Amino acid sequence: MPISEPTWAELPFLFKSAVVELLPYKNRCCLRKCSKSDQFLVDSTPNHLHDVAIHTCENYTVFTYSDSPDTVFTLKYFKNIGENDLKIEYSESPVLFVPGKNQKFIFKTSIHVENLASEADDVDFALDDFKLLLNRLNCKKSIINMIPNQYNPIAHPDRTIEFRQRLLDLMTSSFPKKSIKSKSLVIHWHQETQEIAEILQVFHTKTLKNLEFHDRNATWHMAPIIGTEQWKGARSVLLEHLSDVKIEELKDFNEIQMHVRDSGEQELWTVIQNFIRKNLHGSSFHFTYRQAEPNVDRILATFNVPPRDEPITARTRLRSVLGSRFIHTQRFQMPSTDLILVVMISEKEVMGTVCHVDQVNVEAKVERGLLR
């Protein structure tokens, strides 16, 4: 008598979990609806994604996710309080749309759900689904966009502030500390650094290595953020705003991008010395001066080597154009003889990259600050 093959329900839990871990997120969601046991299975299995993002606009809430670097999945939720119907626009698109090379949308559809509670709005449904996506999340990049200003012209300020509070409540009440695994966290917020510190603490300290904070026209008091384990464990930081961060609070970062008010020559020299001591290929810093221009003569006076302008030789037209903005390029010897620190000064920037000696013209990050 032939032996019948086991059904899905009869397979060992660990085997099924290994299968679920390989499924695209959309397939996980479909499997989750099949039974209570499958729901438990999906909710117990790590969710590997390339990136996730969420933000709100005046008439809808949207979150996106990617299973790979190539395709982005977008869900837009439309529903006002007092209405009983919810509209969801779902689309699949290439991350990079190139006219004539690929299609703007791979797939696009609309879903209408009727007879829902009238007191709920689109934010409620978007946050419910976003909570499901964050469960057991393990991804490369998480983006939270919460800034109601001219850089997000379609955002509605009052709605954004309310959404920010509801998202903060969701993340801090629904997830234990250090439970979300993401290599990078990008936050577009507005000055409330204590709120950001609370969000940071939900992310796993050993996984989170790259931090980006955006609030271009603001000045942040950074003490609540700097006090978190997540800040102390990160190795790359981007601060697209002014702040009260001190140089010694950046000493453990291998990559620094930040806005500064004016020229602090001794602080800059301290950064240069720190990167020389680190002796780490690929490490870099970039300071954008927002008020006073960097004083080249005073900067050069702090160096322990004679000033010598040695600009890079660009190998592409783009790098040539970008490299032309630099007034002075100084090279510093490193403990490893095959490495060199290239420091470049322009009218509004000071930046440095630790390069291989024979690859300076390729590795020096002239694009930093302009093409990010």
Q: Where are the beta strands (DSSP E) in the chain?
A: 47-56, 61-66, 71-78, 86-94, 107-113, 137-145, 181-188, 210-220, 236-243, 255-260, 284-289, 326-333, 339-346, 349-356
Encoded tokens for 63: 């979150």
CA distance linking residue 32 with residue 34, whole number of Å: 6
198 C-beta neighbours (distance < 10 Å), count: 17
Which of 175, 161, 221, 172 lies closest to 199, judged by CA? 172
Segment 296-346, tens digit of pLDDT: 999 999 999 999 999 998 888 888 888 889 999 999 999 999 999 999 999
Q: What is the pLDDT of residues 187-222, one digit of tens each?
A: 988 878 999 999 999 999 999 999 999 988 889 999
| pTM for the structure as a whole | 0.89
Domain extents for the chain? 1-45
H or E segment and range at residue 29:
helix 25-32
Nearest CA to 342 among 267, 283, 254?
Answer: 283
pLDDT digits over 63-73, tens only? 999 998 889 99
* Torsion angle defined by CA atoms of residues 142, 145, 146 and 152, in that order, rounded to the nearest 10 degrees: 170
